[in-house]
Amino acid sequence: MRKSFQPYYRLAKKELDALWKDGLIVPDTNVLLNLYRYSEATRSELLKFLAAFGSRLWLPYQVGREFHKRRLTVIFEQHEKYEGLQRDLDDILKRLETTRGHPFVSPRLWQRLQRIERDVRKELRRNAEGLLSLLDEDLTLDEITRLFEGRVGEPFSQDEIEALKVKGETRYKDRVPPGFEDEKKPEDERYGDLIIWMQILREAESKKRGAIFISDDAKEDWWLRVRGRTVGPLPALREEFAARTDKNFHMYPSDLFIEHAGVYLKRQVEKETLKEVKETSAAQREPERAGLLPSQFLADRLGLERLRAGLATTKLENQLRDALRIPAADLANLRALDSIRAGLMTTNVENQLRDALRLQGLAEQPFRVLRSTAEGGKQPSGGKEEGPKEPPTGEGSPGG
């Protein structure tokens, strides 16, 4: 029976051992981009683990293409986090500086806090400047380039891409993985995952090898999930891979890859490395789990007119919570909705909304209008109000 339904059974230990010993090691786009989100120590350790697999390390052309297209965006995103933290620090200090009410701190503690604050700001500025320096000299890019020199697959021809798009339409309609969850994306981004998959199949078939795919993509057109628990790659992927190559296929998120690679390579893995990789991967998966919505739909659903008027009711709160699938506790912790009710749409609250609710793609105009109205001003001049725009497509689909 196992032989007839092999994709539905977990790989036996000897099958996994064979994969680790002889299989291709293939990183996804998000794995490379996350290198810019890690600390220097964690980035260095992950690169060493990848390098240890030598000639078996292989990069699909589509992964390399996506990485180079998105690299600068990720760098600037990390830089913006430092700016956001500076704003939060300003807000905290401003609230503590007042002597008109709680919370109070003693003058002695306030002096100590100011000294620490100067050191914190100095380090934040240094780290932020370090990110921008990557535009001129990117040592991480240099390491990645050296690592994959001579290990990048060939691109598909344009005719092959067009034929794959036709095939992809049918596959997506029939919910054949991977990629069908990208069906609503613009056409030039719709088939990225499928192209990666087909390039992996072609390379594995040519080299007569199995493959381990490392991906922090959370979408369910890659992973088999049962009651919220990730079991492994979808059986349909394993079945298609075996049919093409007569070999096995397996997947790991980055943290589990490092953990298992440590066992295979007989290398110790630092707990802090595993923790950072796991937390970073989870943070990138969060927007997908939250079910990101186009800003136009959000505007229609949540009623920006009522937000502008400072009339965010409990019902509107519930709509916001339901639309974004955010736990009530997380939403309450923002303190943002209370500020909206009171008509106190501060810059800090705007940033909290953008960061916590992942609304970076929402047009800036509604926020300007909202702030202007909350402060008792008028709508910005310029005629008819500009409506919300669709968020720019970034790496919402970490795999392609």
pTM for the whole structure: 0.66
Look at the block and give the residue holding tokens 């990048």.
152
**122-162 pLDDT per residue, tens:** 887 887 777 777 778 889 999 999 999 999 999 999 999 99
For residue 41, count other CB atoms closer than 10 A to its CB.
Answer: 12
Is 280 within 8 Å of 47 (Cβ atoms)?
no
328 SS3 class: helix
For residues 373, 375, 376 and 382, what is the CA-based torsion angle, rounded to 10 degrees?
-50
Which residue from 361, 298, 354, 285 is spatially nearest to 324, judged by alpha carbons?
298
Beta bridge partners of 152: 59
Bridge partners for 230 per DSSP: 225
Q: Is 226 helix (H, G, I), strand (E, B) or coil?
A: strand
What distance in Å separates the CA atoms of residue 170 and residue 172, rounded to the nearest whole number?
Answer: 5
- Digit-coded pLDDT (tens) for 166-213: 999 999 999 999 999 999 888 888 999 999 999 999 999 999 999 999
Q: Which residues pair with 250 in a beta bridge?
A: 212
CA distance 48 to 52: 6
Q: How far apart are CA 336 and CA 147, in angstroms?
A: 45
Length of the chain: 400
Q: Where are the beta strands (DSSP E) in the chain?
A: 24-27, 211-214, 223-226, 229-233, 249-252
> 12: helix, coil or strand?
coil
Distance CA 337, CA 317 (A): 8
Parallel, antiparallel, or unpaired: how do β-strands 229-233 and 24-27 relate? Answer: unpaired
DSSP 249: E
Are 379 and 372 contacting, i.e. CB atoms less than 8 angstroms apart?
yes
Instruction: Give yes or no for a cis peptide into 103 (omega within 30° of 0).
Output: yes
pLDDT at 51: 95
CB-based contact 192:28 (threshold 8 Å): no
In 3-state terms, what secondary structure has residue 395? Answer: coil
pLDDT tens by residue, the chain, 400 residues: 988 898 988 999 999 999 999 999 999 999 999 999 998 899 999 999 999 999 999 999 999 999 999 999 888 887 777 777 778 777 777 777 766 666 667 777 777 777 787 788 888 788 777 777 777 888 999 999 999 999 999 999 999 999 999 999 999 999 999 999 999 888 888 999 999 999 999 999 999 999 999 999 889 999 998 888 888 999 999 999 999 999 999 999 999 999 999 999 999 998 999 999 998 888 766 544 433 333 333 333 344 444 434 444 455 555 555 555 444 444 444 444 444 444 444 444 455 555 544 444 444 444 444 444 444 444 444 433 333 333 333 333 333 3
Burial class of residue 209 in the structure, from the number of CB atoms within 10 Å of its CB (0-12 exposed, 13-18 middle, 19+ buried): middle
Instruction: Please provide residue 87's backbone torsions phi and psi, each rounded to the nearest 5 degrees.
Output: -65, -40
